Amino acid sequence: MNIGEKIAEFAKGGSTGKYLITSDIPAICKSEPCMIGIDEAGRGPVLGPMVYGCAYCPISKLEDLKSLKCADSKTLSLDQREKLLTLINENADFIGWEVEILSPSFISQNMFRRAKYNLNWMSHDAAIALISRAREAGVNVTQVFVDTVGPPEKYQVR
């Protein structure tokens, strides 16, 4: 099952929590210094889940990454994004990735708690969790790039 099918299965299943989808970790990502990039899609329970994703690769493979024409997803068409996902998966020897999906129910339940947990905090925590899980799995993360929600300084502090 590909990532799109997994996400569709998650959405159809009416999940009320978080859902993780991960690639295998390339061996080179454990032995060489790596960069990791994080972005999100979706911003609220009315329209659907919030999806946070990261991709990582060795800094030494930056030119290879550029040759794939990786870019901010907001600058790419749906067709370009789908082709890029195929290319990323075809280069699994040096690119790894993870996606965390926060269901609309999870978002709503947290926003209605007595101790509020807003979308910005969820965004910060999702980004931190992606980095933490990659590091705990052995990825040698030395550079982090985050397409932030709100001021970048708040991410740096956390």
**Annotated binding-site members for a divalent metal cation:** 39-40, 147
Which residues are annotated binding-site positions?
Answer: 39-40, 147
Token pair belonging to 95: 């690119």
Token pair belonging to 135: 């590091």
**Residue 23: burial class (beta carbons within 10 Å; 0-12, 13-18, 19+):** middle
Write 37-41 long-range contacts (CB < 8 A, 24+). 37/145, 37/146, 37/147, 38/127, 38/130, 38/131, 38/144, 38/145, 38/146, 38/147, 39/72, 39/73, 39/146, 39/147, 40/123, 40/126, 40/127, 40/147, 40/149, 41/73
